[in-house]
Each structure stands twice: as C-alpha cells, then as structure tokens.
C-alpha cells in the first residue's frame, strides 16, 4: 500500500485484524488520536494499562510511557511507531543525582512518571501530574525529594506546604512547558479577553499564578464543564487542544502555538501503519529494573486507593 494514501480507518482495520489495542497520549496528532481505543494522560494510560485484555498493544507517545505500559503488561507485546521518540526531561535525571540527594537529605524520593525506568526503580513512589499533590499529601514525611520536573515540584510545594526538594534541580524541566513566556499568554488573552486560562503545572509559577485553572490534561478535560465561560486558552502541548475541541464542541479553545513537543510528533500515520503491519519496534525493558519500577508504581496505586477511601 502507498504509505501516503493511508487513512486512519486503514490503521483501525489493520489493528483489529492483527489483534492490537491502540493507546495514545493526549499530545499525539489529531489523526492518531482518532484511531486510538484509549486516549489519555499518563495516569489514565497507567490505569487503563492494568485492564487491557488483549495480548498486543500499540502505544502512541514517547519512550518512558511505552516502558511503563510494558512494565504493567510484562507478558504482552508492546510496539511503537518510532523508537526515537524520547523525553529530553527524563534524561536530565541520573542515578547518581538520585543517590546523592538521598544521601544528603535522607528523604523519600518521588519520581514523576516522566522519567526513565531506572529513575522509577530508584523511587519510593511514582506520581503523575494528575495525582502528584495527592500522593505527596498522603506521605508522612515533611521533606520529599521530587524529580525530574522542577516546575511540578514547585507546584506540589505550593499545594502541600511541604519541603519539596527538586532533583536534579534547575536542569530538570519539560522544554515545551518551561520555555513558554507569560507575555505569550497575555498576548493571546488580549485577543480573547473573555477566555479563561488553564495551564499545566509544568509551566513556570508566574504563569500558574495568572491562570484561572491549573491541572493535568485529564483535569483540563473536566474544567470546561464546570467553568462559567465558553472560551479557554490552553497552556500545554498543542495536541491537547484537539481533544478538548472534540470533548466540548460548543466551546472555543486557543492554543499556544509555540508549545509543540517534537518527540510526540515523531509518530505519524505512515509509521504507525508500518509498525502494525510488520509488527516491529517492540518495546523491551531491563528486567533488573522492572521489579523496583513496578513496586513504585504499585505504591502510587495503593496511595490513590487509600486517598479515595478517606475522601
């Protein structure tokens, strides 16, 4: 088949024939979101990953997410369209950074899910942007090591009042969220003065302060239902805007055009079709790290269940 003529429906039919369930992150391009059986943020994908019954999974996202899907589904085949789709932020945090911080502070280490498998294996707990505040709030300790995202660490500190120490510090951030400037948001706001600003917690504190709502992408999905507005400025990766428009067709959403994750956009219709048709680009994980990483993820689920009971 001519790769340039492939349609989303072609991929859906092929995936069904080959027995694949398709999981996609919110930041994927619109055509890939359309073919997915499940589209969500890191927490939603992790939860869904524990409930998948089929033996084959095609994952549309970046490497650390695919690794977590594999860790939670060790006996299933997980493939990706492009093995070079990585997360630069995850690479900023090393084993040495974590061990050095633990020695210095003798505090538990919470790994943001946007991290390597090795980082998760060294963590006491894993969290996502959707549950980071709840997870840290439930911990007994007042001092917590948190990495690799310094901006999310700052947000958790604001919300919990705890001493959150970012590891590795200034070098740990998502370039998509960290480089966006408050002036960019204000410029969009001037064009749409009645629009509410909703921002991801990975952005700088000054942007969070000026936002009407701060939350993960799954939390952003719900906010338009509750907010007294028909217009929203979406301060996160541009792929999320398409999902919001599909979920809330009667409302308007304005993207920050500079907020593009180039790694997320490496996945394409053509690459996805090739990966399924040839059943290539299988995800493998270091078995020596799987046990520790899985324990850290399971502790997150345990805390979430405990939090739900207390609520």
Map out the domains of the chain as residue ranges: 3-85+264-280, 90-174+289-310, 180-255
Q: What are the beta bridge partners of residue 147?
A: 111
Give the span between the Cα atoms of 307 and 134, in whole angstroms: 8
pLDDT tens-digit readout, 51-93: 888 899 999 999 999 999 999 999 999 999 999 999 999 999 9
pLDDT (0 to 100) of residue 209: 98
Q: Which residue has the tokens 């952005």?
A: 203
Q: DSSP readout, 128-191?
A: -TTTHHHHHHHSS-SEEEEES-HHHHHHHHHHH-SEEEESS-TT---HHHHS--HHHHHHHHHH
pLDDT at 230 over 80: yes
pLDDT category at 2 given cuts 50, 70, 90 is low
Q: Give the CATH fold of the 90-174+289-310 domain.
A: Rossmann fold (3.40.50)
Q: Which helix (DSSP H) or strand (DSSP E) does residue 244 occupy?
A: helix 239-247
| Predicted pLDDT of residue 85 | 98
pLDDT higher than threshold 70 for residue 301:
yes
pLDDT at residue 310, rounded to an integer: 61
Distances (CA, A) of 62 to 25, 59, 109, 145, 207: 9, 8, 23, 25, 26
Q: Residue 309 above 60 pLDDT?
A: no
Query: 253 in the Ramachandran plot: left (φ > 0), alpha (ψ -120 to 50) or beta?
Result: beta
Among candidate residues 45, 89, 60, 4, the one with its CA nearest the CA of residue 239: 60
Q: Please give the radius of gyration of the chain, using alpha carbons only, rounded to the nearest integer.
A: 19
Q: What's the CA gap between 14 and 134, in Å, rounded?
A: 40
pLDDT band at 170, cuts 50/70/90?
Answer: very high
Higher pLDDT, 294 or 305: 294
pLDDT tens sequence across 171-205: 999 999 999 999 999 999 999 999 999 999 999 99
Q: What percent of the chain has pLDDT over 70?
A: 97
The fold adopted by the segment(s) 180-255 is Rossmann fold (3.40.50)
The 8-class DSSP code of residue 259 comes to -
- Split at pLDDT 50, 70, 90, the class of 46 is confident
Residue 308 — very low, low, confident or very high, per pLDDT cuts 50/70/90? low
CATH architecture of structural domain 3-85+264-280: 3-Layer(aba) Sandwich (3.40)
For residue range 196-221, what is the model confidence (pLDDT) as tens digits?
A: 999 999 999 999 999 999 999 999 99
pLDDT mean over 150-158: 99
- The reported pLDDT for the residue numbered 52 is 86
Read off the pLDDT band of 4 (50, 70, 90).
Answer: low
DSSP state of 282: B
What mean pLDDT value characterizes the chain?
Answer: 95
Q: What's the rounded mean pLDDT across residues 122-150? A: 97
Which range (56-60, 126-130, 280-284, 306-310) has the least confidence? 306-310
- What pLDDT does 49 receive? 80
pLDDT of residue 3: 62
Residues in CB range of 4: below 8 A, 6 or more apart:
270
Given a cut of 60, whether residue 259 has pLDDT beyond it is: yes
Tell me the three state secondary structure of residue 233.
strand
Residue 106 Cα to chain centre, angstroms: 28
Predicted structure pTM score: 0.94
Choice between 14 and 4, residue whose per-residue pLDDT is larger: 14
């Amino acid at each position: 088949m001519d790769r340039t003529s492939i349609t989303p429906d072609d991929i859906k039919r092929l995936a069904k024939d080959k027995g694949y369930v398709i999981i996609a992150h919110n930041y994927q391009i619109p055509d890939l979101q359309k073919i997915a059986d499940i589209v969500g943020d890191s927490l939603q994908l992790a939860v869904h990953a524990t409930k998948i019954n089929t033996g084959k999974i095609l994952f549309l996202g970046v490497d650390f997410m695919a690794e977590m899907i594999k860790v939670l589904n060790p006996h299933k085949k997980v493939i990706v369209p492009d093995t070079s789709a990585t997360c630069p932020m995850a690479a900023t945090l090393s084993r040495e950074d974590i061990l050095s911080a633990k020695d210095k502070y003798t505090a538990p280490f919470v790994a943001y899910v946007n991290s390597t498998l090795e980082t998760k294996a060294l963590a006491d707990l894993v969290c996502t942007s959707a549950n980071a505040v709840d997870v840290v709030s439930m911990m007994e300790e007042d001092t917590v090591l948190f990495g690799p995202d310094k901006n999310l660490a700052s947000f958790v500190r604001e919300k919990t009042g705890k001493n959150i120490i970012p590891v590795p510090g200034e070098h740990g951030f998502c370039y998509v969220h960290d480089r966006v400037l408050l002036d960019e948001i204000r410029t969009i706001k001037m064009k749409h003065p009645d629009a509410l600003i909703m921002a991801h917690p990975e952005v700088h504190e000054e942007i969070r302060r000026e936002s009407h709502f701060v939350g993960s992408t799954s939390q952003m999905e719900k906010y338009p239902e509750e907010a007294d507005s028909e217009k929203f400025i979406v301060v996160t990766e541009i792929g999320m805007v398409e999902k919001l428009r599909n979920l809330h067709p009667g409302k308007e959403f304005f993207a920050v055009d500079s907020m593009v994750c180039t790694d997320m956009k490496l996945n394409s219709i053509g690459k996805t079709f090739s990966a399924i048709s040839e059943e290539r680009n299988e995800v493998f994980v270091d078995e020596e790290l799987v046990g520790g990483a899985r324990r850290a993820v399971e502790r997150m689920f345990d805390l979430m269940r405990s939090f739900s009971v207390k609520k």
